[in-house]
Chains A and B, each alone.
Chain A
Amino acid sequence: MAASQLSTSKLFTAFAICGVVWAALQGYIIHSFGFVWLTSVIDAVLSAVLLAIACWLINNNLRYYQPDKESYFYLFIWCAALAIACVAGCRYILPLFNLGQVYFNFLQQSLEIRFFTTFLALGWMAMISALWYTQLDHKRTEQRKTEAEKLARDAELYNLRQQLQPHFLFNSLNSINALIGFKPELARKMIHQLSDFLRGTLKKDEQLLVPLNDELAHLNLYLEIEKVRFGHRLQTEISCDKACGEAMLPSLLLQPLVENAIKFGLYDTTDAVTISVRAEVEDQYLVIMIQNPYDPKTSRPRKGTGFGLSGVQRRLYLIFARNDLMETHANDNIFTTIIKVPQL
């Protein structure tokens, strides 16, 4: 960003120089018509100031709003209107300086040519601004893309670290250890689920978007393992119709959210807990709602590992360039996380 600020200030300097040259040239031309220097300079400076204000307006306008193809026409009208305003400014302000009848006549006669030169100058300004900001925007998109790739990698690494290191893996192994004693069949099943789950987190990185069905299958492996660990205390409800199953979403997006829900659901109460995951397709969006009960009075501040919820939001932003795709609500002892994935 520092580099682009530098180039912005360079651009500004270039425009300032152009403005000065423009004013000098105009002063010289008016002088060559036989007017005294004072008159020429006043005329030139006032015109240049008005033109600079108009340029600044156009430039600012384009900074926050990039015209699409149809609205280039409006840009044209904008330039024409500003040019008229500039010329009108000259027409009504210059006589106030009492520069003589001859000059006034000259001013009257030169209004048309003044309009066209101003219009031309504004048109240039608009074009350069539009190009400049489009290019800047392009650069930002590029940057976001590379960042998105990096974050997907980070997400994979995070998943690995999360799953391989701490509580989840060790506690699962401990459960298997217990099952081996009295239910060897179940122990074997759990080992397979655990391996499938870990393999899933390893290979998911390559394709960025996956169908919801795949993501849910992966999520189910995780939930099955957690259910063995927590027994009857953990229940889950997953609802997703046929159309939803085909909808696409970034891979490994749901598991951190559900993990978060389980963590706060299960550790916030001593009763049984139902975690629900509901998916539906709504106006070109795949909407997924994850709910868990929680206790607002005793809940620890939701800081977590710093990746859980905020990581998912960040990833959605980097992929879709929008910050409004994830929301959370807490009411009636239910914590809800909603994510919306645009369907392209």
Chain B
Amino acid sequence: MKRALIIDDEPLARMVVLEYLQDFKDQIEVLQECGDGFEGLKAIQQLQPDLVFLDVQMPKINGFEMLELVDSPPAVIFATAFDEYAIKAFEAHAVDYLLKPFSKERFNKAIEKYLAISPAAVITKNTETLLEAAAQSPAQNERIVVKTGTKVKIIAVQDVEYLQADDDYVSVVTAEGAFLKNKTMAFFEKTLDPGQFVRVHRSYIVAISQITRLDPYEKDSHLAILKSGAKIPVSKTGYVKLKQVLGI
């Protein structure tokens, strides 16, 4: 028996999934319905479901942002209205995606596909690559969603001063403090707007708008002084990149 969650902010949309799932009563059990990403996140962490039916556009945090916060994401079947950016991501990596409104036949196909490729490890990996692909879409890189304790914090990208590598995490530094995100520097370097953020060092990505001064420091390297007073090391190659973006 597989255990499933339905996460969608529209009650009627959840009902369609519930109704269609009647035929799979013996294989799939619905644990809970959730009306937004916060509820969804809590339910996933507590109940550890095998499968999640997920809408993308939801209040506060969207489906992708919610998945990013889950430690080991379950298999995901997206059910969403047209979203041109997300579709590419779905095609490559989700178990399946359903475009609303979807037929019973199409739904059955998605479920059968899921039941056929069950080994959990494969699915988790798929969901992770899916998130990376989704993060390329413009809507995704305007903000960064992080967990602080049990709370979810939404950071607007323009509030970010710099990012610093921190073991397996990246520390996102804002005026309010530093927040850990379970992503790599390479991920942020790829997804953040290269006109606004430059990787100036192996362990640092800095927001250009925050830099007030560049001071020479030791041989071949520099220090970037930020508005907040923070001093960020700039490597030789980082300095070249920075000069390019600043046009000097």
Contacts and interface: CB of A to CB of B under 8 A. Distances in A.
B81 A167 contact: yes
Given A170-B81, A171-B100, A297 B59 contact: no
A176 B101 CA distance: 9
A176 B10 CA distance: 12
A267 B101 contact: no
Interface stretch (A29-37, A48-56, A143-151, A223-231): A223-231
Interface residues of B, number: 28
Nearest to B11: A231
B137 interface: no
Interface string A174-200: 111111011000000000000000000
A5 interface: no
Interface in A259-314: 266-270, 295, 297-298, 300-301
Contacts of A229: 10, 12
A174 B101 CA distance: 4
Contact of B154 (A174, A182, A233, A297): A297
Interface in B4-39: 9-13, 15-16, 19, 35-36, 38-39
A22 B100 CA distance: 79
B245 interface: no
A166 B58 CA distance: 15
Contact of B16 (A165, A167, A178): A178
A174 B83 CA distance: 15
A174 B12 contact: yes
B142 A301 contact: yes
B81 A179 contact: no
B9 A174 contact: no
A174 B13 CA distance: 7
Contacts of B158: 301
Contacts of A176: 101
Interface string A152-176: 0000000000000111001101111
Contacts of B60: 267-270, 295, 298
Main SS of chain A's interface residues? helix
B230 interface: no
Given A228-B12, A267-B59, A174 B100 contact: yes
B10 A175 contact: yes
Interface in B75-110: 81-83, 99-102
Contact of A266 (B11, B38, B59, B102): B59
B193 to A, nearest CB: 13
Contact of A166 (B36, B81, B154): B81
Contacts of B82: 165-167, 170
A8 B248 CA distance: 40
A217 to B, nearest CB: 25
A49 B22 CA distance: 95
A230 B101 contact: no
A110 to B, nearest CB: 64
A178 B13 contact: yes
Interface string B155-182: 0101000000000000000000000000
A267 B12 contact: no
Nearest to B37: A270
Contacts of A181: 15-16, 19
13 contacts: A166-B83, A170-B99, A170-B100, A171-B13, A171-B100, A174-B101, A178-B16, A179-B12, A231-B11, A267-B57, A267-B60, A298-B154, A300-B156
Interface of B: 9-13, 15-16, 19, 35-36, 38-39, 57-60, 81-83, 99-102, 142-143, 154, 156, 158
Given A166-B83, A175-B12, A182-B15, 5 more contacts: A166-B81, A171-B13, A177-B101, A298-B143, A300-B156
